[in-house]
Chain A
Amino acid sequence: MRNRKLTPYVLVLPAWTWLALFFVVPIGGMLSLSLTTGNVITGFQQTFEVGNYADAIGTYWEQILRSLLYGGCATLVCIAIGYPMAYWIAFRGGAYKSTYLLLLLLPFFVSFVLRTISWRFFLSDNGVVLGAFKDLGLLPEGFAVLNTAPAVILGLAYNFLPFMVLPIYAVLERMDPHLVEAAHDLYSDRLRAFVHVILPVSLPGVFAGVLMTFIPTSADYVNASVLGGTHNTMIGNVIQTQYLVNNNYPIAASITFVLMGLLLIGIFSYARALGTERVMEVHTS
Chain B
Amino acid sequence: METAAARQPAISLEGVFKSFRSGSETVNAVDGVDLAIEQGEFFSLLGPSGCGKTTTMRMIAGFEEPTRGVVRLNGRDVTGVPANRRDVNMVFQSYALFPHMNVADNVAFGLKRKGVAKGEIGRRVGEMLELVELGHRAKHRPAQLSGGQQQRVALARALVNQPAALLLDEPLGALDLKLRQAMQVELKRIQREVGITFVYVTHDQGEALTMSDRIAVMNHGRVEQLGTPAQVYERPATRFVADFIGTSNLVKGTVLGESGGVWRVEVADGATALLADLPEALAAQGPGAVGSAVYLTVRPEKIGIGAERPGEGVSAVPGTVTETVYLGSATHYQVDIGGGESVTVYLQNSSDSALAAGRGDHVWLSWPAHHSYPLLA
A residues neighboring B (CB under 8 Å): 176, 178-179, 181-189, 192, 196-197, 200-201, 203, 278, 281-285
Tell me if A201 and B113 are in contact (CB < 8 A).
Answer: no
Tell me if B98 and A179 are in contact (CB < 8 A).
Answer: yes
Smallest CB gap from B167: residue in A:
A185
* Known contacts A192-B113, A281-B99, A284-B99; is-contact A185 B94 (Cβ 8 Å): no
Give bound CA distance, A187 to B96, whole Å: 15
Tell me if B161 and A283 are in contact (CB < 8 A).
Answer: no
Partner of B63, one of A176, A181, A203: A181
Tell me if B99 and A283 are in contact (CB < 8 A).
Answer: yes
Tell me if B92 and A182 are in contact (CB < 8 A).
Answer: yes
B residues neighboring A (CB under 8 Å): 61-63, 82-85, 88-90, 92-100, 109-110, 113-114, 141-143, 157-158, 161
Give bound CA distance, A236 to B148, whole Å: 55
Tell me if A200 and B92 are in contact (CB < 8 A).
Answer: no
Tell me if A179 and B84 are in contact (CB < 8 A).
Answer: no
**B189 CB, nearest partner CB in chain A, Å:** 24
Smallest CB gap from B100: residue in A:
A200
Smallest CB gap from A187: residue in B:
B113
* Known contacts A196-B109, A201-B100, A281-B99; is-contact A189 B90 (Cβ 8 Å): no
Additional A-B contact list (12), CB under 8 Å, known A181-B90, A181-B96:
A176-B96, A178-B96, A179-B96, A182-B157, A184-B84, A186-B89, A186-B113, A192-B113, A200-B100, A203-B100, A285-B95, A285-B97
Smallest CB gap from B93: residue in A:
A178
Tell me if A186 and B96 are in contact (CB < 8 A).
Answer: no
Partner of B96, one of A182, A196, A282: A182
**B90: which A residues are within 8 A, CB to CB?**
181-182, 185
Give bound CA distance, A178 to B157, whole Å: 14
**A284: which B residues are within 8 A, CB to CB?**
99, 143
Give bound CA distance, A201 to B94, whole Å: 16
Tell me if A186 and B161 are in contact (CB < 8 A).
Answer: yes
Give bound CA distance, A183 to B90, whole Å: 10
Most buried by A among B94, B114, B158: B94
Give bound CA distance, A189 to B85, whole Å: 9
Give bound CA distance, A31 to B145, whole Å: 47
Tell me if A186 and B110 are in contact (CB < 8 A).
Answer: yes
Tell me if A201 and B99 are in contact (CB < 8 A).
Answer: yes
**A203: which B residues are within 8 A, CB to CB?**
100
**A283: which B residues are within 8 A, CB to CB?**
99, 143
Tell me if A285 and B96 are in contact (CB < 8 A).
Answer: yes
> Which label, helix, strand, loop or mixed, suits the secondary structure of the A interface?
helix
**A95 CB, nearest partner CB in chain B, Å:** 11
**B110: which A residues are within 8 A, CB to CB?**
186-187
Give bound CA distance, A176 to B150, whole Å: 15
Most buried by B among A176, A178, A188, A284: A178
Most buried by B among A179, A182, A285: A182
Tell me if B99 and A187 are in contact (CB < 8 A).
Answer: no
Tell me if B94 and A187 are in contact (CB < 8 A).
Answer: no
* Known contacts A181-B92, A201-B100; is-contact A285 B142 (Cβ 8 Å): yes
Give bound CA distance, A187 to B113, whole Å: 6
**A201: which B residues are within 8 A, CB to CB?**
98-100
**A189: which B residues are within 8 A, CB to CB?**
82, 84
**A197: which B residues are within 8 A, CB to CB?**
98
* Known contacts A192-B113, A283-B143, A285-B142; is-contact A184 B82 (Cβ 8 Å): yes
**A185: which B residues are within 8 A, CB to CB?**
61-63, 83-84, 88-90, 158
**A109 CB, nearest partner CB in chain B, Å:** 33
Tell me if A282 and B84 are in contact (CB < 8 A).
Answer: no
Give bound CA distance, A256 to B88, whole Å: 60
**B266 CB, nearest partner CB in chain A, Å:** 54
**A81 CB, nearest partner CB in chain B, Å:** 25
Give bound CA distance, A282 to B143, whole Å: 8
Interchain residue pairs A-B with the least CB separation, the first 6? A186-B110, A178-B96, A182-B96, A187-B113, A184-B83, A200-B100
**B97: which A residues are within 8 A, CB to CB?**
182, 285
**A187: which B residues are within 8 A, CB to CB?**
84-85, 110, 113-114, 161
* Known contacts A181-B63, A181-B83, A285-B142; is-contact A188 B96 (Cβ 8 Å): no
Give bound CA distance, A203 to B141, whole Å: 17
17 contacts between A and B (CB under 8 A): A178-B94, A181-B90, A182-B96, A183-B109, A184-B62, A185-B84, A185-B158, A186-B110, A187-B84, A188-B113, A197-B98, A201-B99, A203-B100, A278-B100, A281-B100, A283-B143, A285-B96
**B121 CB, nearest partner CB in chain A, Å:** 13
Give bound CA distance, A186 to B90, whole Å: 9
Tell me if B143 and A281 are in contact (CB < 8 A).
Answer: yes
Give bound CA distance, A89 to B158, whole Å: 31
